[in-house]
Amino acid sequence: MLTPKQKAIIWALGIIFGVPTSIYGVQWTLTKFAKQQVNCLSDASQAAIELTEKPISEQGDGSQLSKGFTTCRKKIDPNKGTVDFFKEEIDRHKSKT
């Protein structure tokens, strides 16, 4: 049987490395995954709005918009660690302000 200290260490390592070790770990992993998807959709929506605000002669065929969305979707990582996740979220917030 594991002691409470050992359980806490396993739980903390699971959070840091992105390996769910409990139901809370699974929920946190799914939350990180969902947030990455929301970020991708938000970026695609913002890009579409910016594209429609341009004059028709500058809009092009929208292939750049499609390429950006595809790239964004491929970068979604369901196994991303918590530290990397927070670093990216902080960088994302800094770039928007």
> pLDDT tens for residues 12-40?
887 777 678 878 888 988 999 999 999 99
* Burial profile 59-73: b = 16 or more Cβ within 10 angstroms, e = fewer: eeeeeebeeebeebe
- Tokens 């929301």 -> residue: 38
> pLDDT tens for residues 45-77?
888 888 777 776 676 776 777 888 888 889 999
- Record the pTM: 0.73
Can you give the residue ranges of every domain in the chain? 33-81
> Dihedral, CA atoms, 55, 61, 64, 65, nearest 10 degrees?
80
DSSP 22: S
